[in-house]
Amino acid sequence: MRARLLIGGVGVLMGAFGALRFLQLDLEDIVNAVLFLAGGVIVHDGFIAPLTVALVFLLTRVVPSRMRTAVTMGLVVLGTVTVTAIPVLGGFGARPDNLTVLPRNYVLGWFVFAALVLVVTGVAALRAPRKHDEHERA
């Protein structure tokens, strides 16, 4: 109980510090941050959530039931990392006069990551225990 209170208290203090720092920004920066956050909600609700529902619908039609959990987890991990990595995958912010801004081949790194996720997902899906329906147990 004490640990939860301590962690909660630290979280509240960090949130208050962030809010104070946010309010110290220029009005233009505050407007840009609000637009960025609103854009995230619009993209999520208008694109990511419907796409996820469609993928899950297809997943239930194509993937055997015993493998669905592993495949779903793999898709969530790969999708989350991919969406998060869009800025570096697109090279947004790269500057020819400063090669240290985006110094790596992030696309290659993403492909390596995706391959690892697919391998781990495949192994987990193949090792998933077979589910028995009620008729088989009787």
- The pTM of this model reads 0.65
**pLDDT tens per residue across span 65-112:** 999 999 989 988 998 899 889 889 999 888 889 888 888 899 999 999
DSSP per-residue letters across the chain: -HHHHHHHHHHHHHHHHHHHHHHTS-HHHHHHHHHHHHHHHHHIIIIIHHHHHHHHHHHHHHS-GGGHHHHHHHHHHHHHHHHHHHHHHTTTT-BTTBTTSS-S-HHHHHHHHHHHHHHHHHHHHHHSPPP--HHHH-
Q: Sketch the domain layout of the chain as residue ranges.
A: 21-62, 65-131
